[in-house]
Chain A
Amino acid sequence: MRALIDLIIQKKHWFVFILLEVISLVFLFSHNGYQKSVYFTTANDVVGATYNVISGITSYLHLKEENQALEAKNEQLRKKLLDMQRLMAQDSVKRMPALPLKYELVPAQVVNMTLHKANNLITINKGEADGIRPEMGVVCSQGVVGIVYMTSRHYSIVIPLLNTNSKVSCRLRNSEYFGSLIWERGYANIAYITSIPRHAPVKVNEIVETNGYSDVFPAGLPIGQVVRLGDSSDGMSYMLKVRLFTNFATLREVTVITNYTSAERHMLEEVAQNPEKADSTMLKQLGQATEKPQTDEKPQTTEKKQTAEAPKTTAPQTTEKPQTTEKPQTTEKPQTTEKPDTIR
């Protein structure tokens, strides 16, 4: 003990030295940000490396439990995958929720599209070979997309709602007042509804949907939501600003409704509009068609009829309607659907 005390007394300058150096270093590290950060980084590197080694060793100890947990998870995921595959096999078509099951749907992918022209067109990768004909409705899971305009063997051109020539008849979900949806060049998610009468109780945020008057879309498919109430230029009706549900900018998967278009109805309406031009063959066909009423449950017969009559029905349409634009009117015949509106 005495020797120790002697040693301490003898070497006391060492203790003073160490004390003073420690004080200096404390100053250094507590007042200089740079040295502090370097110190801590070095310290962390060392600690990190140590922990890395330690965890490398200890991880082996838990391998068995880990393995069991992974095995269980694997089993669970495999089960889920099987369920999913079964579900997908049952229903490979991405259905729009509002579409009743009786319609025959052809899924298709968008292969080309413009958004910013006045007359935008969409190309989809299904055509006549898949039963697609002009004037069929195209929808997606969010809402209405447009109407088929031209078809080739494996491709079709769709006139979307975003086309200044597009005119789709629609109605307000709550009040069932109807009008027609048009688009003005500009925003890819905004369209307008014209010819809703002034006395209609329209509210903002009201849902706009198709009204089954046309033979393109069945009734009740969502189109959009009213965002602003405006007046039409003549002041006689509303001009509603509608935000479309369909996001055209990201549109990829669409569905074509192939068995809704009724050739019989089409022809009847044409004959009714231009009775002097309706020739005897058309009336004859019409008679045959009425004798054998088509049902939606038998899509095969419908399609056959369509293929047989498609060239005849589309051809007179272009010639008989000079008041519309040069292009054959793509939508259902708006004249017939709008007439009651103007009378009202």
Chain B
Amino acid sequence: MSSIYLSRLFRLLILLFFQVLVFNHIHLLGYITPLVMGYMIVCFRRNASRISILIWGFITGLLFDIFSNTAGMASASCTLIAMVQPLILNMLSPRDAADDFKPSYLTLGFWNYTFYTFLLMLILHGTFYLLDAFTLADWLLTCTAILGSSVLTTILIIFIELLVHSRQKKKHHA
């Protein structure tokens, strides 16, 4: 039990490190910034305690907020995707999957996993950028930012997923 928490904490810190030092400085077209922190919620297993997902999501968002000076924005959006993550995962999970399978491109299939990640990222960035702009005056700009960063973050998360699994495979082979 504690090993799960430790590994989550470790993952959180790694993600936070890269988010703050690398991804926060990416401003594609001036306003597309990927929130790779969302990966934290993406990789929760099916049937994990919903409260624990919510709390982890909130903490993730809060830490991001503290470091990037966006009080409340990321914590609100991360809590929101933590709320909907189990629903989307249930919707997309294959029938023969285990009760507590871990979502990845291996268990879900590549396109399903991509769609699952993209949906979550769309909600995350949608909430984040709408709270950031807090107006619908520049809705075109906000939409571009939401879509662009969702796509970019999805690509990055799949890339991370591939990296992690290749490492795990190597470890497994060794």
Which A positions have Cβ atoms within 8 angstroms of B? 12-13, 16-17, 20-21, 23-32, 34-35, 38
Give the secondary structure class of B's interface: helix
Contact of B79 with A21 in the complex, beta carbons under 8 Å: yes
Can you list, as one digit per residue, whether each of B50-61 has a CB less than 8 Å from chain A (1) or not (0)? 110011011001
Give min CB distance, B89 to chain A, whole Å: 15
Residue in A30, A32, A38 whose CB lies within 8 Å of B135 = A38
Q: Select the stretch in B33-41, B69-77, B146-154 that faces chain A.
A: B69-77
Find out whether the CB atom of A26 lies under 8 angstroms from the CB atom of B72. Answer: yes
Asked if B71 contacts A21 (CB within 8 A), the reply is no
**A-B CB pair tally, cutoff 8 Å:** 57
Which residues of A have CB within 8 Å of B76? 21, 24-25, 28
Cα A17 to Cα B87 in complex, Å, equals 14
Among B50, B79, B135, which residue has its beta carbon within 8 angstroms of that of A24? B79
A28 and B55 contacting across the interface, CB-CB below 8 Å = no
The verdict on A13 contacting B54 (CB below 8 Å), with A21-B80, A27-B65, A28-B76 known, is yes
Instruction: Provide the bound-state CA to CA distance between A20 and B75, in Å.
Output: 8
Q: Do A27 and B134 form a contact, CB below 8 Å, given A13-B54, A17-B83?
A: no
Q: Would A17 and B72 count as touching, CB distance under 8 A?
A: no
Task: Check if B131 is an interface residue, CB within 8 A of chain A.
Answer: yes
Given contacts A26-B72, A28-B76, 18 further A-B contacts (CB under 8 A): A16-B51, A16-B55, A17-B54, A17-B83, A20-B58, A20-B75, A21-B76, A21-B80, A23-B75, A24-B61, A24-B62, A24-B76, A25-B76, A32-B71, A32-B72, A35-B134, A38-B134, A38-B135
Residues from chain A with Cβ under 8 Å of B57 in the complex: 20
Q: Which 4 A-B pairs have the closest CB atoms?
A: A28-B72, A27-B72, A31-B71, A24-B76
Using Cβ atoms and an 8 Å threshold, which residues of chain B touch A32? Answer: 70-73
CB closest residue in chain A, given B49: A13
| Interface pairs (5), CB distance under 8 Å | A16-B54, A23-B75, A24-B58, A24-B79, A27-B65
Known A13-B50, A17-B83, A38-B135; contact A31-B72, beta-carbon cutoff 8 A: yes
> Cβ of B75 and Cβ of A27 under 8 Å apart?
yes
Chain B residue nearest in CB terms to A22: B76
Contacts of A35 in B (CB 8 A): 131, 134
**CB proximity of B104 to chain A, nearest CB, Å:** 24
Q: What's the Cα separation between A35 and B135 when bound, in Å?
A: 9
A27 vs B61: C-alpha distance in the bound complex, in angstroms?
Answer: 12
Bound state CA distance, A30 and B73, in angstroms?
12
Q: Which residues of A contact B51 (CB under 8 A)?
A: 12-13, 16
User: Which of A12, A29, A34, A38 contacts B72 (CB under 8 A)?
Assistant: A29
Chain B 126-149 interface mask (CB, 8 Å, partner A; 1/0): 000001001100000000000000
Instruction: Please measure, in the bound complex, the distance between the C-alpha atom of A169 and the C-alpha atom of B51, giving whole angstroms.
Output: 102
Closest A residue by C-beta to B82: A17
Q: How far is the CB of A325 from chain B (nearest CB, A)?
A: 74
| Chain A residues, Cβ within 8 Å of B58 | 20, 23-24
